[in-house]
């Protein structure tokens, strides 16, 4: 109750079911059948949720579109003021927001706080950006003419997010969309609706505290539900951009629907991230990076390390150390400060992990350690597992798939070009890393013939990106870029203007058309 009170959610907790939507600050309740939401920590029920009906989803989309029509004319630096104040309130509520992430998504405290910190960081980034939404000035081929680009708000943005970053991924999208002058309608994962309600409540509180003179309209809206609600967003013509984060299967479906109406989609999908460890690598550094990237968030990050490609001269030395590190990890209740590995999100994730380990062994892999369920010294009802280390001869069929659990496949290589080939020979292309002290090796890995991922690191693991860079990957990872760099351009439309300040009408390409 104290946590709910701090997050402004007490008013809903007394009801038998939670709201299905928050539209313009108002709670909406659906008649659809409600389902229990359980915590991955102990399987206890946190509340009951019903998916938003088609009518409520349409209402939210229309509200986001209506908001855009007004919000687009508010000067961008004033839009930035809303985001600045959101950032202030998130700082004040950081601990409570992180506790809710832990309760609903099972992240350990440090990682949950890190996720809220990402929201704070993207607020700061977006505030600065609100004074830098600039285009080019381009010289014209015609006398007394000037060309320029302007970036205008795009419209209402539909944001669909995954369970494993229940706040940060929305924030990457929404904080940029807000300064860009867009409306937002958010469909979070059905596994993390409480986080979404807390986030939306915080934003609504800031909007209301600023008054209608500064913020004439609620720009952000929330609809809860499962796949069907996401499908409604993807199909709706009032959403020119759908930003969708989740599995490749989801991305393929969303992309086709959005393309069918010639909308724009920004896809952040699954990864199959690898690290190459070369003979000159600093092994102490590599070891720490491998363990954090492979088992952090219990292997449930899109950037989690899934494949380790080690030079054959190091494998005998590295494997026993990895087995020791994997076997001595503190696994358990994510609320305890010493825990490093919390639970899997649910039973399905556990069984998917078991299926992948069995398939790997059938296909010729050797299980070196881990994989089994932890039942001692962990809360009953949660799915806690020993992270698994699996020796594979190469990219087996199962290695090509993203299993969203802590499984690290280890393979060896002789020549760097073979390692890079192995690295790139999977359908996904999100995050990658090389550990080396050789400038040549590092530069080869970063070159056009090196890693084919959207993120390529040297002497840093695959997970834990900073918000300042553009985040995303290619191939089955979706092709979208979010967060820093120039990702803001996704949320705006580019207009090219040509201005004639002379008293003649010269035509481009020297065409003469005298009348
Ligand atoms: P998921 O694909 O099951 O669900 C993601 C979201 O999409 C949910 O809100 C879900 O309700 C919705 N959805 C599912 N099918 C849909 C459809 N056909 N149309 C519209 N919406 C649909 O993913 P998950 O299990 O929640 O998350 C894990 C996956 O997300 C992993 O593959 C992970 O790699 C990926 N992920 C990627 C990134 C990234 O930035 N690249 C970040 C986080 C997670």
**pLDDT tens, 241-284?**
999 999 999 999 999 999 999 999 999 999 999 999 999 999 99
DSSP secondary structure of 172-198: HHHHHHHHTT-EEEEE--TT-HHHHHH
| 395 has a pLDDT exceeding 90 | no
| 1 has a pLDDT exceeding 90 | no
Residue 394 confidence class, pLDDT cut points 50, 70, 90: confident
Instruction: For residue range 163-210, list pLDDT tens digits in order.
Output: 999 999 999 999 999 999 999 999 999 999 999 999 999 999 999 999
Q: Strand 305-311 relative to strand 273-277: parallel, antiparallel, unpaired?
A: parallel
Segment 294-322 shows an average pLDDT of: 98
Say whether 443 is catalytic. no
Q: How far apart, in whole angstroms, are the C-alpha atoms of residue 40 and residue 343?
A: 6
Q: Tell whether the torsion through CA atoms of 289, 291, 292 and 293 is positive or negative.
A: positive
Residue 230: CB within 6 Å of ligand 1?
yes
Q: How far apart, in whole angstroms, are the C-alpha atoms of residue 300 and residue 353?
A: 11
Q: Tell whether the torsion through CA atoms of 485, 487, 488 and 494 is positive or negative.
A: positive
- Distance (Å) of CA 207 to CA 129, 196, 197: 20, 16, 15
Give the active site residue among 104, 111, 115, 268: 268
CB 380 within 8 A of CB 140: no
Segment 113-118 shows an average pLDDT of: 98
Q: How far apart, in whole angstroms, are the C-alpha atoms of residue 63 and residue 219?
A: 8
CB 43 within 8 A of CB 381: yes
Residue 404: CB within 6 Å of ligand 1?
yes
Measured between its terminal Cα atoms, the distance across the chain in Å is 79
Residue 255: CB within 6 Å of ligand 1?
no
Residue 302: CB within 6 Å of ligand 1?
yes
Query: Ligand 1 pocket test: which of 106, 160, 162, 229 has the largest number of ligand atoms within 8 Å of its C-beta?
Result: 162
Query: Ligand 1 pocket test: which of 111, 190, 246, 266 has the largest number of ligand atoms within 8 Å of its C-beta?
Result: 246
Segment 219-235 shows an average pLDDT of: 98
pLDDT for 32 equals 85
Q: How far apart, in whole angstroms, are the C-alpha atoms of residue 471 and residue 184?
A: 20
Q: What would the two tokens of residue 2 be?
A: 């104290």
Residue 257: CB within 6 Å of ligand 1?
no
pLDDT for 403 equals 98
Output the residue whose Cα is nearest ligand 1's atom 43. Answer: 302
Residue of 89, 77, 66, 85 whose CA lies nearest to 219: 66
pLDDT for 326 equals 97
SS3 for 240? coil
How many CB atoms are located within 10 Å of the residue 504 CB? 9
Segment 470-476 shows an average pLDDT of: 98
Task: Please tell me the distance between residue 245's alpha carbon and the centre of ligand 1 in angstroms.
Answer: 5
Task: Please tell me the distance between residue 173's alpha carbon and the centre of ligand 1 in angstroms.
Answer: 15
CB within 8 A of 251, min separation 6: which ones?
Answer: 244, 267, 269, 478
Q: How far apart, in whole angstroms, are the C-alpha atoms of residue 469 and residue 487?
A: 9
Output the residue whose Cα is nearest ligand 1's atom 42. Answer: 302
Instruction: For residue range 50-59, list pLDDT tens digits in order.
Output: 999 999 999 9
Please state which of the ranges 24-33, 255-264, 398-407 shows the lowest mean pLDDT.
Answer: 24-33
Q: What is the ipTM of this complex?
A: 0.98
| 14 has a pLDDT exceeding 90 | no
% residues pLDDT > 70 (the chain): 100
CB within 8 A of 354, min separation 6: which ones?
Answer: 371
β-partners of residue 500 are 145
Residue 165: CB within 6 Å of ligand 1?
yes
Task: Please tell me the distance between residue 66's alpha carbon and the centre of ligand 1 in angstroms.
Answer: 27
Output the residue whose Cα is nearest ligand 1's atom 21. Answer: 230
Residue 387: CB within 6 Å of ligand 1?
no
Q: How far apart, in whole angstroms, are the C-alpha atoms of residue 164 and residue 299?
A: 10
Residue 212 confidence class, pLDDT cut points 50, 70, 90: very high
- What is the average pLDDT value for the chain, to the nearest integer? 97
CB 202 within 8 A of CB 193: no
Q: Strand 407-413 relative to strand 428-429: parallel, antiparallel, unpaired?
A: unpaired
Please state which of the ranges 5-14, 156-165, 401-410 shows the lowest mean pLDDT.
Answer: 5-14
Segment 311-320 shows an average pLDDT of: 97
Output the residue whose Cα is nearest ligand 1's atom 23. Answer: 246
pLDDT for 202 equals 98
Residue of 418, 283, 426, 474 whose CA lies nearest to 409: 426
Residue 186: CB within 6 Å of ligand 1?
no
């Amino acid at each position: 109750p104290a946590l709910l009170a701090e997050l402004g959610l007490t008013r809903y907790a007394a009801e038998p079911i939670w709201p299905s939507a928050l539209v313009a600050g108002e709670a909406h309740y659906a008649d659809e059948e409600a389902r229990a939401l359980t915590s991955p920590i102990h399987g206890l029920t946190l509340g009951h949720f019903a998916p938003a009906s088609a009518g409520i989803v349409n209402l939210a989309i229309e509200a986001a579109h209506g908001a855009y029509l007004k919000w687009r004319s508010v000067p961008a630096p004033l839009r930035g003021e809303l985001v600045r104040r959101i950032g202030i309130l998130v700082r004040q509520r950081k601990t409570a927001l992180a506790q809710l992430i832990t309760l609903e998504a099972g992240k350990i405290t440090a990682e949950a706080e890190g996720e809220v910190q990402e929201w704070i960081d993207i607020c700061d980034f977006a505030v600065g950006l609100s004074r830098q939404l600039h285009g080019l000035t381009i010289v014209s081929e015609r006398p007394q003419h000037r060309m320029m680009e302007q970036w205008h708000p795009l419209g209402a943005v539909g944001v669909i997010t995954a369970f494993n970053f229940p706040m940060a991924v929305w924030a990457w999208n929404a904080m940029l969309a807000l300064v860009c002058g867009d409306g937002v309608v958010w469909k979070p994962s059905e596994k993390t609706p409480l986080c979404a309600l807390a986030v939306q409540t915080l934003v609504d509180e800031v909007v209301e505290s600023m008054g209608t003179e500064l913020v004439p309209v609620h720009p952000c809206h929330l609809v809860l539900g499962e796949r069907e609600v996401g499908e409604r967003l993807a199909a709706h013509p009032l959403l020119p951009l759908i930003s969708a984060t989740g599995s490749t299967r989801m991305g393929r479906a969303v992309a086709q629907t959005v393309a069918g109406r010639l909308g724009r989609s920004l896809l952040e999908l699954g990864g199959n991230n690898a690290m190459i460890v070369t003979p000159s690598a600093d092994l102490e550094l590599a070891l720490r990076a491998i363990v954090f990237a492979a088992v952090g968030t219990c292997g449930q990050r899109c950037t989690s390390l899934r494949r380790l490609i080690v030079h054959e001269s190091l494998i005998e030395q590295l494997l026993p150390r990895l087995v020791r590190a994997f076997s001595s990890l503190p696994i358990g209740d994510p609320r305890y400060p010493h825990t490093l590995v919390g639970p899997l999100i649910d039973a399905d994730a556990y069984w998917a992990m078991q299926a992948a380990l069995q398939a790997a062994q059938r296909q010729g892999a050797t299980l070196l350690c881990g994989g089994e369920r932890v039942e001692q010294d962990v809360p009953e009802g949660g799915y806690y597992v020993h992270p698994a280390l699996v020796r594979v001869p190469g990219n087996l069929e199962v290695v090509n798939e993203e299993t969203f659990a802590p499984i690290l496949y280890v393979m060896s290589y002789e020549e760097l070009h073979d390692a890079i080939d192995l690295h790139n020979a999977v359908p996904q292309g999100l995050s990658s890393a090389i550990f080396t002290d050789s400038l040549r090796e590092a530069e080869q890995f970063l070159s056009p013939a090196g890693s084919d991922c959207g993120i390529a690191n040297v002497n840093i693991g695959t997970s834990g990106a900073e918000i300042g860079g553009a985040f995303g990957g290619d191939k089955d990872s979706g092709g979208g870029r979010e967060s820093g760099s120039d990702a803001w351009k996704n949320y705006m439309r580019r207009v090219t203007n040509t201005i004639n300040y002379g008293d003649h009408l010269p035509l481009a390409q020297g065409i003469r058309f005298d009348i």
